[in-house]
Amino acid sequence: MEPSTLALFVVAGLASLFMAWVIGAGSSGATPFAPAVGANAVSTMRAAFVVGVFGFAGAVVQGANVSEAVGSGLVGGVSLPATGVILVLFVGAGLMAVGIVTGYPIATAFTVTGSVVGVGLALGGTPVWGKYQQIAAVWVATPFVGGGIAYAIASVLPRTDVPERYSVALLAGLVGAVLANVEFAYLGPGSTPDSVAGVATRALPVDGLLAAVLVSVAVAGTVAAVVSWDVGRDLRGGLRRVLLTMGSLVAFSAGGSQVGLAVGPLLPILDDVGGVASLTAVLVGGGFGMLVGSWTGAPRMIKSLAQDYSSLGPRRSIAALVPSFLVAQVAVLLGVPVSFNEIVVSAIIGAGAAVGGGDAVSARKVGLTVGAWAGSFVLAFVLGYGVAALAL
């Protein structure tokens, strides 16, 4: 391996770490616990610490799908050189840094996707229209699906005729059933990805589908029973514990989704460095960068999201986090780069509107945020395409 190739890989790796730090300080570090902080269930600094730990875990065991999609699934017929990777990462991270400084949540998925596509097309790649349609469908549907589910949940939880020990327990059981079917690295044969339900399916002497259903129902029932008992004996404390658990699961999902935006562009050049770094090592590095970003830079964005979008209590916060977890896991399964700002902000808006109507949400803040999302994608594409066409 030529020294110049290794040097470029080191520079690209540092750019990837910078991007991971920006993601941890911004979208993945701020959004998962913003509803919990808004509900006064946890302090800002403790939220930043917890989200960093769970984000790191999610990056390592769930980060491969989105990383591979970003690395090789957005542009056909071309593999980004190290210089192209560096350009992609600095464009995306630069725009994210602007969002952190100004306090507005720039969507990482939009900036990185725009810059990857822009650079790839400028270097002679071909559009992957099928993947673009899938990404666009998820991006457009997220505010309506996530916000709609949050609105529906938040409309039910405060009702006096629906006791929390049953309604919250039902939601927790649903989350438990989904979690039992989420794939994690190293659980399958030969360290391949698999789910808890999949592991149980191989061990049970019954049909595979039936075994998966039985395991899912068992997990859901157990989780629901525990939550029902906890909330029934201590309503305030039980709701707080459910809220913190949901925040941790959303942080875990954020790590699995967002790490791909930081390390995915590196994957095309791994072969050029002769096995110096494996996918697992790259995911660990990206997860570490996000962890440091969450600990050092996330508190400002957590405060911004918790205070500016809606005044949330524990019930509406749970209503915001349940669909956030579900939407994030669907995106990870599909290998779609998705914005956690979009996921959680939409859910916060839906949950806030259910009780407070339009007065519960800052219309100006929402409008500026949506404009920042759209503008960041266009600007990242234009910058990536323009600089790559002129300089690479």
Amino acid at 390: L
Q: Give the C-alpha separation, 283 to 278, whole Å.
A: 9
Q: Which amino acid is at 283?
A: L
Amino acid sitting at position 141: A
Q: Identify the pLDDT of residue 32.
A: 81
Q: Answer whether residue 17 is part of any domain.
A: yes
Nearest CA-CA partner of 324 in 147, 132, 89: 147
Residues 103, 109, 112: CA angle, nearest 5 degrees: 100
* pLDDT (0 to 100) of residue 19: 87
Contact 237, 246 (CB under 8 A): no
E runs forming strands in 341-389: none
- On whether residue 293 sits in a domain, the answer given is yes
On whether residue 102 sits in a domain, the answer given is yes
> Does the residue 22 lie in any domain?
yes
CB 331 within 8 A of CB 183: no
Dig out the tokens for 69 from the structure: 């999609």
Write down the pLDDT at residue 357: 59
Report the b/e string of 294-311 with b at 16+ CB within 10 A: bbebbbbbbbbbbebbbe
Q: What is the pLDDT of residue 117?
A: 95
Give the DSSP per-residue string, 224-284: HHHHHHHHHH-HHHHHHHHHHHHHHHHHHHHHHHHHHHHHGGGGGGTGGGTTSS-HHHHHH
CB 55 within 8 A of CB 293: no
Task: Tell me whether residue 19 is in a domain.
Answer: yes
Is 103 within a domain?
yes
Cα–Cα distance list, 108 to 78, 148, 168, 218, 310 (Å) = 23, 23, 32, 37, 22
Domain around 62:
3-157+248-319+335-391
The number of distinct structural domains making up the chain is 1
Query: What's residue 285's pLDDT?
Result: 92
214 lies in some domain: no
CA separation for the pair 128, 255 (Å, rounded): 25
Neighbours of 174 (CB within 10 A): 16
Cα–Cα dist 152/355, whole Å: 10
The stretches in the chain having pLDDT less than 50 are 1, 309-310
- Can you tell me the distance from the alpha carbon of 391 to that of 320, in angstroms, rounded to the nearest whole number? 44
Query: Would you say residue 378 lies in a domain?
Result: yes
**25 and 99 in contact (C-beta within 8 Å)?**
no
Instruction: Output the pTM of the full model.
Output: 0.89
